[in-house]
Every structure is written in structure tokens, then in C-alpha cells.
Amino acid sequence: AQKVTQAQTEISVVEKEDVTLDCVYETRDTTYYLFWYKQPPSGELVFLIRRNSFDEQNEISGRYSWNFQKSTSSFNFTITASQVVDSAVYFCALSEGNGGSQGNLIFGKGTKLSVKP
């Protein structure tokens, strides 16, 4: 069965600190997709990144970076030099590649990040 675990329920940092949000997933499929979404206090879900299971290259986008390691079934998200605007709940999600009956997004419980000035 598919499962996404975000062990960190809440993290609080001070502005300019680096912070890593952990995501561990479980799936039996060899083809799957991993996602990160951000939910700011306003409530909408904002797409951040999508990564397929065959691409283990790390990705950097500005202050955001993602570390995908199949060996540990992890897809961790790092924010460098955090800012108050980064305060939000961050969700990691998994989807199977074959689009079967369960081929939709399975979300973790989310990590609430608070960045204090």
C-alpha cells in the first residue's frame, strides 16, 4: 500500500535559518511520482515540485532544494535562508505511475513551518 510519512508535525525557525522538511514514502511500484505542495495561511494548495521515480537528480529552485533518495525512500525539502513568507504547511504527496484505482495523490499529514522574524 502507498503511504507518505512526514514525521515533523511542526517546525519553528528564525528568519535566515535553513530548514529541512522530511518526507518518507512507501510504494510497491517501480514507477511513481512525488510532489511537494505548500498551503499558506490563506488556505490554497500551491504546487512546488514534481519528481518521477527514475530521476534521482537533486533539484534547486532559488532558495528551495529537494533531495530524492530511492535507497532510503525519502524526498526531503530544504529551504535556505528562510523568510517569514515561507510560513505555511508543507505537504509531500505520492502517486503511482500506472494510474490505477489508487493512482491519485496520497498526501502526508503535513509539516507546519513557522518562520519568526
Binding site for another protein (CB under 8 A): 31-33, 35, 37, 43-47, 50, 52, 91, 95-110
* Number of neighbouring beta carbons within 10 Å of residue 56: 12
Residue pair 21/64 in contact by the 8 Å Cβ criterion: no
**CA–centroid distance for 106 within its chain:** 12
CA atoms within 13 A on the CB side of 56: 6
